Amino acid sequence: MPPSKRLIICAICFLVILGLGALWANANPTVLTGAQRLAISLVIATLLSIALYFLLRQKEIVTQSEQAVQRTDLARDEFTASISHEIRTPLSGILGVMHLLKRTSLDRNQERYVDTATNSANMLLTILNDLLASSRMDTSSIFVESKSLDLAEVVEDVTSILAPEALGKGLELVCDIDPNIPQRVKADPLRLRQVLNNLLSNAIKYTKHGVIVINVSSNSGSVEIGVKDTGVGISEERQAALLGLESQGSDNPGQQPGGAGLGLKSTRRLIKAMGSELQLDSRPGEGARFFFKLDIDDEHSAAYDWNPPQALRQLSVGILSPVAQQRSTIRNMLEHWKINDIQEMDFDVEETFDVSELAPCSLLIIDQTDSEQAVNDLIDRLSNSSDWRDTRFVHLVPQNRQSENGSADVRLYKPISHSRLYTTVMDIVYKLAFDSEYEVAAGSRSGQASGLLAGRRILLAEDNDINKMIVLEMLEETGADVDVAVNGADALEQLQRQQYDLVLMDIQMPIMDGYEATQKIRAMGGSYESIPIVAMTAHALEGDSNKSLEAGMDYHVSKPFEPDRFISLIVRFIAERSATSTSDES
């Protein structure tokens, strides 16, 4: 309200009160004279007018303060988005070049230097994610957004980041995701990553040996996420302190066991802000399990339909692992893909192993961390047997294991994800069904098959020279034919001249950005409505993925991306489209 308007209101108030005082002064006098009454009225009118003025002024101050806070929040969000993009772009280049460098001939010292640089860059990426999350944290309250997100992708990403730390302590880290969970849930992506990172970090820090499992399952209209360790457990008294409002002990674990302590206070607040409660199930000597629930996105409540081809369903698979939870997780994935011929065995390669106890199969998955040479000897021994001659072997290895002398057809880095295992199994199907001549490069760091995408055409829309070089190098070993468009308009022209199996679309490009280009592609109708389009961008804030999906893209990959997962994603989309096309033709 303008000052002049406030003064007018106060003047009117003053005159009204003074007028009433004058009427009172002219009344029949009692104790006070008329002049005394008029003086009292003048004082009261003056005081009330001044009070009214400051009351109106205070309301204006509150309104201005609220507007200033809103402007500050908007400026902070814009600054955060800008910083995120500007930092991720060069960071993507660093990690990409490190990946390419590791594929060249390096001596041991050079490999160690590259690994150190890669680990440092990944650590910087983790810190960046933490800063982005904390930048939206207020001291008095926590603001969270409810976004539709792929829960399996978030869980697998966080687990993959923390896997080297767990494996470095001799712990097994298993990512157990129920294949029947809904495609998407409602949550704040950055907050959820922060929560999962805290819970997993606690479990790793306070577990001396055994297995840590992060599991996701459907539960009465919601999705339950839990982290379970094999520590010594937590007493009932300690549980009450951890889940209560007390801060003492919550963030200062000292010698407390069971993965309890670090960041639990903030974790509890974040989960509560997302509309849930952190819960704990633990008994002394039996480890601890922290868990919470998230709401399902009603628009995507159905489970993801992998639509496995008939040839995949006819596979026979053997699972050898000393970890029961690992065997169970792999079995659940395979059964979800309609593979019924499955056998599993509690297996330690260093112990005596009788081959006759296991029936020959199409695919044998061997989970063994410590004795790689023993695994190679076993595979060589089975391969020389006539019954196992046509078997394909998959070796599950830690992420820090870089040896290239394995005998397995494929090496998958733990913890394994649905998408990577599905890609591997589909590769086996192609080999067995079509009797192809190509082989998986044994021990390849990317774990991908040479020539896996031979004959496939991919369009890369990217204007950054470094990013173009990185992606082209990554796709070179797959055998795919890759064409490059320097902007969205160029991509549209090339799509009209040539048929492609998939489009990799950058977001920020000159002339026409990725969002507009995708919308125009979808508007062309026909086969352009179904061609897979993957957003490949440094935009990594919580709303960016949804914006890509709303524009018509099928997936959103934030730079820097993990090469093995990136190639697996491309293979999956192309395989699904091929399966759909074959089904439509039949």
CATH of domain 457-585: 3.40.50.2300
Partners of 319 in the beta sheet?
344, 365
Q: How many CB atoms lie within 10 A of CB 449?
A: 28
- Give the pLDDT score at 584: 58
Cα separation of 567 and 268, whole Å?
Answer: 36
At the topology level, CATH places domain 310-415 in Rossmann fold (3.40.50)
- Give the pLDDT score at 415: 85
R_g of the chain computed on alpha carbons? 32
- Give the pLDDT score at 238: 79
Please state which architecture CATH assigns to domain 147-300. 2-Layer Sandwich (3.30)
Cα separation of 470 and 100, whole Å?
Answer: 7
DSSP state of 13: H
Our CA angle for 264, 268, 274, nearest 5°, is 145
- Give the pLDDT score at 539: 58
Q: Would you say the CATH fold of 310-415 matches that of 147-300?
A: no
- Give the pLDDT score at 289: 92
Contacts 24+ apart (CB under 8 A), 128-135: 128/84, 128/87, 128/88, 128/91, 129/190, 129/193, 129/194, 129/540, 130/194, 130/197, 132/80, 132/84, 132/190, 132/540, 132/541, 133/190, 133/191, 133/193, 133/194, 135/76, 135/80
- Give the pLDDT score at 123: 64
Cα separation of 440 and 444, whole Å?
Answer: 8
Its pTM surpasses 0.95 = no
- In the sheet that holds 279-282, the strands lie side by side as 172-177, 211-219, 222-228, 288-295, 279-282
Cα separation of 68 and 29, whole Å?
Answer: 55
Residues 6+ apart with CB under 8 A from 67: none
Residue 472: exposure state from Cβ atoms within 10 A (0-12, 13-18, ≥19) = middle
Look at strands 316-321 and 288-295 and give their pairing: unpaired
Q: What are the residue boundaries of the structural domains of the chain, listed by start? A: 1-135, 147-300, 310-415, 457-585
- Give the pLDDT score at 438: 31
Cα separation of 22 and 37, whole Å?
Answer: 8
pLDDT < 50 positions in the chain: 137-140, 245-262, 434-449
Cα separation of 45 and 363, whole Å?
Answer: 94
